[in-house]
Structure 1
Amino acid sequence: MKKSTWYRDLLVMLAALCVAGVAVVWVQRITGRIDGVAMLIFMLAVFVTSMYTDGYLWGVLASLASVLAVNFAFFTPYFAFNFTLPENLFSGLVMLAVSIMTSTLTTRVKKQEQLRMETEREKMRANLLRAVSHDLRTPLTSIYGACSTVTENYDSLGKEQALKLLREACEDAQWLNRMVENLLSVTRFDGEQVAVKKTPTVLEELLDTVLVKFKKRCPDVPVQLELPEDFVMIPMDSMLIQQVLMNLLENAVLHAEGMTTLTLRVFTLGSRAVFEVKDDGCGIPKERLRTLFSGTGGPDPNAPADSGKHGMGIGLSVCAAIIKAHGGEIDAESRPGEGTTIRFWLETEKIELEDAEDEQ
């Protein structure tokens, strides 16, 4: 048993017993009698302890402590132990039975819930593997085909044709490299409790870095940038947030068929910085939005644009994991034929500029 779990269960038992003791005293002051009431109240405390603790230990301890407390403080002779009365022994046995039955029930329920979660996790892993297989097979086949064509027909191929095939192979290799980065991020954020190392980052510097990288990968796709007028500082792991923005921008290029405008907009809303990547392309069907960030939807052969070549589930599941690890949220809005907006927010760091000027 982990120390933190042991400490929590101990606090639950003590709290239940203390509340029961206070309740008995309160009932005694109001009604002037506690015959039979004390045992019922402490039995409820035993039930609560067994329900909200792990295993059988704490329920049994609570039942023993309840019997001793009732015998000592609420049964005659008061403030003295007397185990000769048959009702004391019977009450103790009843409490013990309640604690064991409740602990058994809750243990079974917790095991079933754990098995259900494991089943869902295995299903997600299977869907992820299918998506990975689909997303990796096509570029690997393309790379192999281009390289084999060049090597087997080197003498008959023209220089421009050979360079075109090699250039396509390089593009697919770069995409595979980004896919590996995404998969490494998935394994990094696969646990329930994930902590990222945040450092204050200036918004303009972050976006400049992202746009420079995006320009190298997609030189023919202009990005409209909209920024807040105020100076914004955001605690984050800048490398991971750059990966999120790159994934969102590249997904728009790959999948937004008919896109003419790609916009990266950032604005502040209270203590949050809201990021939006918006396109005016073909949009996403409503049924796909539900699993857009889970990575469980798998490749869709009927998806628009280049999704037959490169799926979109892996990168977006990485984005969702990174944003969640930063304490933020991500969602998407889309209508077929009208474009898609993917939005996430991060907490900002308040900068008191006026105070700084006064100090100077």
Structure 2
Amino acid sequence: MLTSDKKKHSNSAWQSALTIALSAASTLLSLLVQHLGFTEANIVVIYLLSVLITSRYTKGYAYGIAASVISILSFNFFFTIPLYTFKVEDKSYYFTFVVMLLSAVFTSALTSKLIHTKEVTDDRERQAHILYSLTSSLAKTSEIKDVARVSAKCLSNLLQCDILCILESCSKPLMFSAKSGNLEVKSEEIDFNKMETILKNRCSFPVNVRSRCISHICFPLELEDMIKSNEFLFDSMVMQITIAMEREILIEEKENAKTETQNERFKNNLLRSISHDLRTPLTRITGASEMLYHSLEDKESLRLVSEIYDDSRWLTRLVENVLSLTRIQEGRLALNIKKEAVEEIVAASIARASKYYPDHKISIILPDDVLFVPMDGKLIEQVLMNLVDNAIKHTTPENEIRVSIWPEGGKVWFEVYNNGLGIDEKDLPNLFKMFYVGSNRMQDARQGMGLGLSICKAIINYHGGDIFVENNDEGGATFRFYLKQ
């Protein structure tokens, strides 16, 4: 196989020989025409024709100009008196030489320019055909592996060489290899060391999607010079492959998101249906157990009824949290914002908590002035109930639970403090995440679903506030949130 330099030298020698041969042929033809009795004008036309033919079958302006000079010298040597010398006795021939030279040069230049324009047009048409063939083939793909397979096959057929396409987006690099003239595209899993070796021994173009390399298109080293001279074409081909792969990635992500959305909707509908169905029997169980508790006298019966009552109340709060969760996830959490007296909301929350947990003592610290804050009273009451319930899970009746309220900097702060077990440090960053259950709680505390605190955060955020948690130095933990005044 000839190298690029050898090819250039061979082409140059061939074009030089062609120029000389055409000049010699035109001289012989002119001698024949002169012998037949034709005039010098016919001889000039023959030389112009040889210049045109030279320009047509050679590349560049140099050969046409050289043919023009050779024609003038040949005409002077063979057809002007004195013959077979370069001397000119008739001065009018100088004008003939100049006109002949200019005509030959301009004709050669125009012909060379037309030929160059045609070559550029043909080259662009060829590139457009290659890109169209590649694009039309990629349009029929349905997944990223198909894109890699079709890319290797199409490029191999178009460029008549062996092509490799390596996918990095898989768990293990997957290589598709296509050989020239072979319709079958082979695929195999390779390790990263082999992939690195292949990339070193071939010209490769990375395919980047969102600043991440997902594939490599590998060409033989023999095409390196052709790639450099047709950089735009190869960049365009890689761009088409990149667009096709990105399209398949986006389609896959869209399908995954659609499936996830459908699963989430199904889950929410299921939770909502179950929660609604449970509310009525739970309310009846709670009411019936409370009535039995006040009417029975036997200690064992009272204990059993008390446990039924406590469990039913716990299940009721769990159902309310699930319903709140579904409303939040579906964006149906309607806020009824109006100015509420903070003292009334806190008192109602503590009253409900004291009713459910009579053994725990909860203290309240309120400011001297009555505070009115824009809020949805029922939702903020639910937040305080969840926070107090969380404090009870981490304390015993002997521990302190304190609810404090104070205004500061255009905000009203709510704080629920306890000096019980506190929260495990590894749980703090995840405490407000949905379905996250902390590990540090009292042994007899019920295992929740990890919804209470996440619902608290969602409600507070809906109000334009924020919620925080920290462990106390003396033990226990403090939850703190604010609402704007």
TM-score of Structure 1 vs Structure 2, range by shorter chain: 0.5 to 0.7
Which SS does the other structure have where 1:290 is aligned? helix
Partner of 2:448: 311
Q: 1:224 aligns with which of 357, 363, 372?
A: 363
| Aligned residue pairs, count | 228
Partner of 1:240: 379
In the aligned structure 1, how far is the partner of 2:390 from the partner of 2:342? Answer: 22
In the aligned structure 1, how far is the partner of 2:406 from the partner of 2:332? Answer: 29
Structure 1 residue 218, shift from structure 2 partner? 2.0
In the aligned structure 2, how far is the partner of 1:269 from the partner of 1:167? Answer: 43
Q: 2:307 aligns with which of 168, 190, 196?
A: 168
Partner of 1:345: 482
Stretches of structure 2 that go unaligned for 5 or more consecutive residues are 1-238, 290-296
Report if the CA contact (8 A) 1:256-1:280 is conserved: yes
Q: 1:209 aligns with which of 348, 351, 367?
A: 348
Partner of 1:271: 410
1:106-139 alpha-carbon deviations (Å, 9 max, x no partner): 895597389479769979x79xx9xx9xxx9xxx
- The structure with the larger Rg is 2
Q: 1:186 aligns with which of 307, 325, 336?
A: 325
Whether 2:426 is the aligned partner of 1:287: answer yes
Whether 2:443 is the aligned partner of 1:326: answer no
Structure 1 residue 332, shift from structure 2 partner? 0.8
Report if the CA contact (8 A) 1:199-1:235 is conserved: yes
In the aligned structure 2, how far is the partner of 1:203 from the partner of 1:106? Answer: 54
In the aligned structure 2, how far is the partner of 1:120 from the partner of 1:255? Answer: 36
Stretches of structure 1 that go unaligned for 5 or more consecutive residues are 1-97, 148-157, 349-360
Whether 2:228 is the aligned partner of 1:112: answer no
Report if the CA contact (8 A) 2:427-2:438 is conserved: no
Which SS does the other structure have where 2:421 is aligned? coil
The 3 A distance-change label for structure 1 pair 299 and 199 is: same
Structure 1 residue 188, shift from structure 2 partner? 1.0
Report if the CA contact (8 A) 2:431-2:437 is conserved: no
The 3 A distance-change label for structure 1 pair 103 and 208 is: farther
In the aligned structure 2, how far is the partner of 1:239 from the partner of 1:282? Answer: 29
AA paired with 2:363?
Q
The 3 A distance-change label for structure 1 pair 116 and 333 is: farther
Report if the CA contact (8 A) 1:273-1:347 is conserved: yes
Structure 1 residue 297, shift from structure 2 partner? 2.3
AA paired with 1:207?
V
Partner of 2:68: none
TM-score (norm 2): 0.40
* Seq. identity, %: 32
In the aligned structure 2, how far is the partner of 1:120 from the partner of 1:306? Answer: 37
In the aligned structure 1, how far is the partner of 2:258 from the partner of 2:461? Answer: 19
What pairs with 1:30-41 in structure 2 (closer than 5 Å)?
none
Which SS does the other structure have where 1:330 is aligned? strand
TM-score (norm 1): 0.53
Q: Does 1 or 2 have the higher relative contact order (CA < 8 Å, sep 6+)?
A: 1
